[in-house]
Chain A
Amino acid sequence: MLEMHNISKVYRTDMIETHALREFSLQVAAGEFVAVSGPSGSGKTTFLNVAGLLETFDGGTYRLDGQDVSGLSDNARARIRNEKIGFVFQSFNLIADLDIFDNVDVPLRYRRMKADERKARITNSLELVGLTSRMRHLPSQLSGGQQQRAAIARAIAGDPALILADEPTGNLDSLMARQIMGLLEKINSMGTTVVLVTHDPELARRAQRNIHVIDGLVADTVAPSDPAARGPHGQTHAESAVD
């Protein structure tokens, strides 16, 4: 699903060059649930932005769903984001003056779907996250957990192959966080690939594979179920680094 090979990304100002990603290589198979963790400034968000075609990269190759995405036009990148990728952000990023129905409608609008099909998809995805009764509420009228569920409904409404979630539980209490994780696992169980960036070791442990990023490099890859990968206190390498 996602194949990155020697990806580099450099942020430049007049004075400074910051290498956010260097020789970053990663493969995520279709249907996998992968957690990406690492300290602040390690390049997790840059990776997610590059993976989601929200930013370009400077070197390396990136194939998404079998397609080489380097050198694509803005239109082509927008189309791939719209059709193949669903985003879930830490701060939900719902549009404040649109109600939940219209928020979920946004990506479908850009796909130029007919009204009937859009309505069916919106209703289905809101049903999946349990927000049918709140579809005409504004985001400000919902709790944090409900807003994140609405954001997930928006991410899945277009039936994407890949969900990229950037600290989706970062603004939620632990109970809500578990609910959201449950939802992401449910979506993954339906065949959607999920890549989750998180600081939370408990959440990372629930993924099928943990990727640990330090200084823009993949430092470690661990399958949580692998006992050999656990440290002296039973945690994974990734958890040690996060802690």
Chain B
Amino acid sequence: MIGYYLRLALRSFRRAPGLTALMVSAIAIGIAACIVTLTVYHGMANNPIWWKNGELYAVTVNPSTPNRTREAGLPAYGPGQLAYDDATYLFGSSIPKRKALLTFLFGSISGAPDQTRPLPTMTRATTAGFFRMFAVPFRYGGPWSKAADRGPEPVMVLSGRENHKLFGGADSVGRTLLWSGHRFRVVGVLAPWHPLPRFYDLSAGNGGAFARPAGAFIPFQWGPVLGDWPAGDLSCDTHGSSTTPTTYQELLGSSCTWIGLWVELPTPAAQRHFLAFMQAYAANQRAAGRFQAVNTHLWTVSQWLTLHHVVSHRSGLLVNLAFALLAVCLINTLGILLAKFLRGAPVAGVRRALGASRRQIFAQHLVEAGAVSLAGAVLGLALSAAGLAGVRLMYRGSSAAYGKFAHFDAIGLAWAVALAFVSTIVAGLYPAWRIGRRAPATYLKSQ
């Protein structure tokens, strides 16, 4: 009977093409608005390393009292980065399976064949665990060893983009480059890698959640060895003290925060042990008078993204508005369908007299409502694709993240199907139910 009902629905559409177009357009606009905003929202809220969500943790240590923290304008958990002393001490723990210190240095690379000018490069100073812990893919070579961290050895990993600029994309492993005048040996070249959001470093001063990964990676200890000041976020107001270090040695001994610490704790026991280790450290520091409070935390990637409001309130609001628009469109469609079905009630009465059951009349009208919703969803998909292209065009060359996520994907398609189904239920169920309820004789009289 579904085929028969579909034929009847098509006849019904032909009978009132204007009304049909109005309903389909309303649903399409509502669905398109939802898909465009949801696609961008989903991309921004994405956890790019979801499979390790219960294993990777960002470490925070807040040495200040809640009042001091508030006065400093920081969230309750304190600064998102750590001071050198705290970071290096916690990094020394053997509890984590893997661990990484992170900061940004600014350098310039030279010494590549045919290179005429130094290449300014944002450089990630980190530790060997960074690469395996964050599942960083390599095109050539691999990460440096833990021993290289301790040296530190003059080793470097290049991003694929930087390698292309310097070596035309060729395997540069084993080549020597000058980084800010110091010789480094290339040990690895990354395959294309651009996690969005850049979950491991969300600091606005480091480019924010949607910035590209660094162009080069060197062992963390090269910063202290070379006395190279961090090029990213550096905050010296965490203790309520306004003392600002003037030399690199002062920076290392200060409570200024500029280092990120991530640990991989694959088991609940490891998590408990490391948290206890952190708390013991903080308690010890408080006893020594360096800390004012014990306030340590481990954050999963998802929690970290939420804490940093990676998905802006504006994006969330837009999604809500899009759904509100869809609701308005569906209510309008419901009204039109109801009027249309009730106008056709005498015909339904005739069908009932000729042997259609209430359920069959309901099914016939639900199929018609479903066909309207399906057509709306198909048109909505086309409008969504156009809308996403428009977003890409609008944010082309802009630092805003929206354009990066404005690509149609399976999630968008799934949303369209789901929204079409919901549209059928919302807009079609009641009119179809209404038309099936009345006794056939009622409508035959009005025929």
Classify the secondary structure of B's interface with A: helix
Task: Report yes or no: B347 in contact with A78, Cβ–Cβ below 8 A.
Answer: no
| A56 CB → nearest B CB, Å | 8
Task: Report yes or no: A81 in contact with B441, Cβ–Cβ below 8 A.
Answer: no
Task: Report yes or no: B347 in contact with A110, Cβ–Cβ below 8 A.
Answer: no
| Cβ-defined partner of B347 (8 Å) among A55, A95, A109, A112 | A95
Is A40 on the interface with B (CB-CB < 8 A)?
no
CA distance A158 to B14 in the complex (A): 29
CA distance A55 to B15 in the complex (A): 30
| Cβ-defined partner of B356 (8 Å) among A78, A87, A158 | A78
| A64 CB → nearest B CB, Å | 14
> Interface residue tally of chain A, by bracket?
20 to 34
| Cβ-defined partner of A87 (8 Å) among B15, B346, B347, B353 | B353
Contacts of B358 in A (CB 8 A): 74-75, 78
Task: Report yes or no: A112 in contact with B1, Cβ–Cβ below 8 A.
Answer: yes
Known: A55-B441, A97-B15, A112-B1. A78 touches B355 (CB 8 A): yes
Within 8 A of B (CB), among A88-125: 89, 91, 93, 95-98, 106-107, 109-112
Task: Report yes or no: B355 in contact with A75, Cβ–Cβ below 8 A.
Answer: no
Task: Report yes or no: A74 in contact with B357, Cβ–Cβ below 8 A.
Answer: yes
Is A235 on the interface with B (CB-CB < 8 A)?
no
Contacts of A110 in B (CB 8 A): 351, 354-357, 360
| A47 CB → nearest B CB, Å | 12
CA distance A45 to B442 in the complex (A): 12
Contacts of A78 in B (CB 8 A): 352, 355-358, 360
CA distance A95 to B441 in the complex (A): 16
CA distance A74 to B356 in the complex (A): 10
Task: Report yes or no: B357 in contact with A91, Cβ–Cβ below 8 A.
Answer: no
Task: Report yes or no: B355 in contact with A54, Cβ–Cβ below 8 A.
Answer: no
Residue among A78, A82, A93, A107 facing the most chain B CB atoms (10 A cut-off): A78
Is A216 on the interface with B (CB-CB < 8 A)?
no
Is B444 on the interface with A (CB-CB < 8 A)?
yes
| Cβ-defined partner of B355 (8 Å) among A49, A89, A107 | A107
Within 8 A of A (CB), among B329-366: 346-347, 350-360
| A69 CB → nearest B CB, Å | 15
Task: Report yes or no: B357 in contact with A75, Cβ–Cβ below 8 A.
Answer: yes
Is A52 on the interface with B (CB-CB < 8 A)?
yes
Is B447 on the interface with A (CB-CB < 8 A)?
yes
| Cβ-defined partner of B354 (8 Å) among A56, A74, A81 | A81
Chain A residues within 8 Å of B, Cβ to Cβ? 45, 49, 52, 54-56, 74-75, 78-79, 81-83, 87, 89, 91, 93, 95-98, 106-107, 109-112, 154, 158
Contacts A/B (CB < 8 Å), 17 sampled? A54-B353, A54-B439, A54-B441, A75-B357, A75-B359, A79-B355, A81-B353, A81-B355, A93-B444, A93-B447, A95-B350, A95-B351, A96-B347, A97-B15, A98-B11, A107-B354, A110-B357
List 5 additional A-B contacts (Cβ < 8 Å) besides A54-B440, A81-B353, A87-B353. A49-B444, A78-B358, A82-B356, A107-B354, A109-B4
